[in-house]
Amino acid sequence: MNQEMSIVQLVLHASFVVQFVIVVLLSISIASWAAIVRKLMAINRIQSLNEAFEREFWSGTSLNELFSSASQNAKLAGPMERIFASGMREYQKLRERRISDTGTLLDGARRAMRASFQREMDVAEAQLSFLASVGSVSPYVGLFGTVWGIMHAFTGLASLQQVTLATVAPGIAEALVATAIGLFAAIPAVVAYNRFARDIDRVAIKLETFIEEFSNILQRSLGGTSGAVHAESTHSTSGSASGH
């Protein structure tokens, strides 16, 4: 394209409303890319921490040692480790109250882990709604700029006695830039949203599976012994059987 029809020149000669729409869309695009990068790093960190704790959990390390480590490094721990710590904390509190009913102990630990699970998922799903909004709204914002630009262009042509393609094309091209930038902002946001939603679903399934496995370990330990410390042998046996 020549200098007169370059993107920059089209934007500079566009109406104020179109220019405002373009600035808004570019700002939204920058914000969405920043959110995409942050979310990508956060999900990778979650997956890495979960895998590291899962390996340690099934390595035969005692539950009390895992709980002590999780309590000391709560801020640096991953979601799975924090869920484990919540369940163990509630389990030990109930035992300190001399509650011996198996159902009460298991229900308390399970409720604590489910509450922690919901908190972790809320954190993991943060900014997904923003990406979804960008993906769904940006094309319409760009379309608004295009419609307004075309209206402005035809209004300006009304005073001309002779209208040719050369006089119509620049105004329409200026307006279409808004739609192009709207799509530029929306497409990466939609792709990233679908990718992150799938990854978060996988994380949720893995966490729910861990809750069930840990609940089974506690249940077996309560069936044969009287304390969390004695769950270690069952925990080690379950780890080797799971093949994790």
Query: What are the sequence ranges of the domains in the chain?
Result: 3-242
Whether 8 shows a pLDDT value over 90: the answer reads no
pLDDT tens-digit series, residues 93-138 = 888 888 777 888 889 999 999 999 999 999 999 889 999 999 999 9
pLDDT band per the 50, 70, 90 thresholds, residue 175: confident
Burial 15-40 (b: 16+ CB within 10 A, else e): beebbebbebbeebbebbeebbeebe
Q: What is the pLDDT of residue 224?
A: 53
Q: Look up the pTM and report it.
A: 0.78
In sequence order, what DSSP letters do the residues of 94-145 get, joined into one string?
HHHTT---HHHHHHHHHHHHHHHHHHHHHHHTTTHHHHHHHHHHHHHHHHHH
